[in-house]
Amino acid sequence: MPYLSKSKSATTTAQEVTVTLEVSPTGLWVAGQTVTLRAKVTADGSPVANHPVRFWFIVKKVNAKLIGGVSTNSEGVAELKWTVPWTLNGDTLPCYEHKLQAELYPEGIFSNYVTIKIAYPTDLSLNVPDKVLVGQSFRISGKLLYESAKDTWSGLPNKTVNIYVNGKLIKSVTTGSDGSFEVWHTFDTPGTYTITAEFPGEGLATAALAKTAVSPASLPRPTISPLPQMIAGGLMLLAGIL
């Protein structure tokens, strides 16, 4: 039985879809910090709205972990706020370099990679006496700590802390086993002094952010009595520290 041939034609457009990932802040993150991941989805340059986007955290650039999903808004943007944990599914995050990537789901179209580093939070205390005498050696001390886990602070040993007086480096000292440090210093003249302790931070091997502590108040210029004060047979001027 004969059949007549028949054909139909239709057109369709293949659109180029692009997923672009940005993060804020860039570069160095700190455990416990809230960061922003922002993925923009376009098709031939136009925003793709109301479409699911998944965000992946690639631990040590190897193990991909899903950390969240958000649909794009009218501008084609999916934004995720994420608090950086100390561990992710058993993997320690500080002291390593990691990658992030966004995925248009379920199509499986991936964005560019973004590389970040994660550091431990640090804290630094500084102690100085309330009053010192000009020419008298006095103790500057403090302690360097890092947050090894959420709400768990430990001393950070064998790290360099720089001590400054009015912005000038006077001593670099290494912290002890409990993170403590001390420096002895003498003022030759009365005046106003600001003492600063600074941990400059380190690289990924033992990543920690720099932290600066300034004495609770400046050392104000003292009021000097018009009558010399004889102490132990010598002439000494008073320098007050608030």
Query: Is the domain of 108 the same as that of 135?
Result: no
How many domains, the chain?
Answer: 2
pLDDT exceeds 80 at position 219:
no
Residue finishing a domain among 119, 137, 162: 119
115: amino acid identity, one letter: T
Is 114 within 8 Å of 40 (Cβ atoms)? Answer: no
Give the pTM. Answer: 0.76
Query: Is the domain of 130 the same as that of 222?
Result: yes
Is 222 within 8 Å of 241 (Cβ atoms)? Answer: no
Distance CA 74, CA 23 (A): 20
Distance CA 22, CA 113 (A): 9
Distance CA 44, CA 219 (A): 64
pLDDT tens, residue by residue, 179-207? 999 999 999 998 878 899 999 888 765 66
Domain housing 94: 17-119
Residue finishing a domain among 119, 136, 165: 119
pLDDT exceeds 70 at position 124:
yes
Query: Is the domain of 135 the same as that of 43?
Result: no
Residue finishing a domain among 87, 119, 151: 119
Is residue 3 domain-resident?
no
pLDDT tens, residue by residue, 25-55? 998 999 999 999 999 999 999 999 999 999 9
pLDDT tens, residue by residue, 79-99? 999 999 999 999 999 989 999
Degrees to nearest 5, angle at CA 197 with 207 and 193: 160
